[in-house]
A and B are shown apart, each in its own frame.
Chain A
Amino acid sequence: MIETHELTRRYGALTAVDSLSIRAEPGQVLGLLGPNGAGKSTVMRMIAGFLVPSSGTAWVCGHDVGKEPLKAKRALGYLPEGAPSYGEMTVREFLIFILRIRGLHADIGYRRFDEVVSQLQLEGVLEQCIDTLSKGLRRRVGLAQAILHDPPVLMLDEPTDGLDPNQKHAVRQLIDAMARERTILISTHLLEEVHALCNRVVIIAKGKLLADATPAELEERSRYHGAVSFSAPGSGVSQEMLGRLPQVAAIEVDPLDGRITVFPKPGQRILEPVETLLRQQGLEVSEIQLERGRLDEVFRQITVGPANGGLTEGRG
């Protein structure tokens, strides 16, 4: 379990993390989401015991990180941002070092070593220097390091950053497989990852908690939630007619591909009436879709407000 209570970290006048209280339970993959510079890494560094908070407390498996740092660190597997590792070591040397420093060098350790190496498909590069590995492999070595001691709590700072789509898929599968009995906190700015992995999402910006919900709940906040979109090439669909439906609030046409999106009034279901209308008019529709909501839109709405969708200022 990971819990923070009013965790705050200030750098001079700047408040990087502002009274953040979050909680992740076993079996849960909690996604920490936010724009660059939102304070995601700072939060993780405080939970991992690398940074000391200005105020507030963090617990890992019930151990206060400030008061029982070693116990908390033993329960935690942590992949820091950028997956740092000792470049001059070979993969085998590095992982054995991690085993030893965690006090796992007996046969349990070596069994675990073999398991993790095959899980992350590192067999082929065990004798290579980490410096010579590709970014994706280095990230996998970092992940191996984090899960080597089979920790009950796992914290991964942007675990799929820099991986190609296949590697991303493999890492997500791995996280998914580990999620069942563990507590996992991942930070990301990739919204697809939230869909693929998380069963709860915490959105922060400028160090403040802005939302704490399931991905589905977030999608419901989207303007697109419950909207119906379809493509009807070559047929002059009458927007006027759609607009006359009592459940419809607005209609938009994509200027590029001519895709039409129909937005419902609050609480209304419009898939059926729209379909019926189209059928009645005898219009050819190539494909029709009920939208679940768009996370990217909700994310923008929450982190920068609905009015401006541009770049926000912030630290890199």
Chain B
Amino acid sequence: MSAISALMRRELRSYFVTPVAYVFLVMFLVLAGILTFYSGDFYERGQADLQPFFEMHPWLYLILVPSVSMRMWAEEAKGGTLELLLTLPISLTQAMLGKFFAAWLFIGLALLLTFPIWVTVNYLGAPDNGVILAGYLGSWLMAGAYLAIGACLSTLTRSQVVAFILTVVVCFLLILVGQPQVLDFLQGMMPRKLINAVAHLSLLRHFEAIARGVLDVRDLSYFLLSIAAWLTAGVLVLDLKRTP
């Protein structure tokens, strides 16, 4: 445990010694605000809730989360510190968890800093704060899934740019698969059951219910399982790279 938390602290700190963290936080907050008020019609809807805010998150994370996750392993491989880290008494799984939790906490901090919008909506009306809390939780879980994808793909390369692009592409595909247009397109090519399965893989589909305030066990476990699966895949890749 102490190894995981030591690594987590180091990682978290490393976010804040470079300007990257601050740039990320500002970008996140500005974009979250803009998307909510302009694209989400926050005022015109005339409803006191944060649905337009949460609905933008899958798209916001699409760019911002990969920019956090890209450095996770690619930077270590490039700088040669991977050899240092993996010869310390820490297992691959522990190392992966330490890095993942650091990044997840960081995104959690970014989410917490959106509190003014929650204050605003409470000032303007009387929203259901339980729904908002569920929205935040769901959003954080979804960010975790994006991060786990990024963590896994970051193990594949020494280049942060490549890791970034790979992660954006994979996350984008996982958003798209649930869209009706894509499912219609697949209709003729696959059996119905397979299309259903594909649709259930979609990040967006699982998040939409949560954004409306419905916390379904299936949606929660989808995100948790996604995190576990992608992190496991990342550990496997790291292990494969050491074996001949």
Contacts and interface: CB of A to CB of B under 8 A. Distances in A.
Nearest to B83: A80
Contacts of B180: none
B79 A103 contact: no
A51 B2 contact: no
A79 B79 CA distance: 15
B interface SS class: helix
Interface string A176-209: 0000000000000000000000000000000000
Interface string B78-115: 01110110111111000000000000000000000000
A19 B242 CA distance: 18
B192 interface: no
Interface string B2-22: 110111011001100110000
Interface stretch (A32-40, A83-91, A252-260): A83-91
A274 B135 CA distance: 96
Given A54-B244, A101-B3, A103-B3, A86 B81 contact: yes
Contacts, number: 80
Contacts of A85: 81, 84
Interface in A69-98: 69-70, 73-74, 76, 78, 80-82, 84-89, 93, 97-98
B181 interface: no
- By CB atoms of chain A within 10 A, which of B10, B80, B87 has the most? B87
A78 B80 CA distance: 14
B14 A88 contact: yes
Nearest to A93: B13
B7 A101 contact: yes
Given A51-B242, A84-B80, A78 B87 contact: yes
Contacts of A69: 91
A9 B14 contact: no
Interface stretch (A42-50, A114-122, A230-238, A262-270): A42-50
A50 B89 contact: no
A147 to B, nearest CB: 14
Residue from B5, B9, B18 with most neighbouring chain A CB atoms (10 Å): B9
A102 interface: yes
B22 to A, nearest CB: 14
Contact of B6 (A49, A80, A84, A101): A101
Nearest to A12: B244
A144 B126 CA distance: 59
Contact of B83 (A45, A74, A97, A98): A45
B243 interface: yes
B239 to A, nearest CB: 8
A96 B81 CA distance: 16
A73 B88 contact: yes
Contact of B91 (A54, A70, A100): A70
A76 B86 CA distance: 12
A103 B3 CA distance: 7
B85 to A, nearest CB: 9
A6 to B, nearest CB: 15
Interface string B232-244: 0000000000111
Contacts of A102: 88-89
Given A49-B86, A85-B84, A10 B18 contact: no
Contacts of A48: 83, 87
Contacts of A10: 244
B87 A100 contact: no
A49 B82 CA distance: 12
Contacts of B7: 101
17 contacts: A9-B244, A10-B244, A48-B83, A49-B86, A50-B242, A51-B244, A81-B80, A82-B80, A84-B79, A84-B83, A86-B79, A88-B14, A89-B14, A101-B2, A102-B89, A103-B2, A103-B89
Among all A-B residue pairs, the 3 with the closest Cβ atoms: A100-B6, A84-B80, A101-B6
Given A10-B244, A88-B14, A103-B2, 6 more contacts: A52-B244, A80-B84, A84-B83, A89-B17, A93-B10, A100-B6
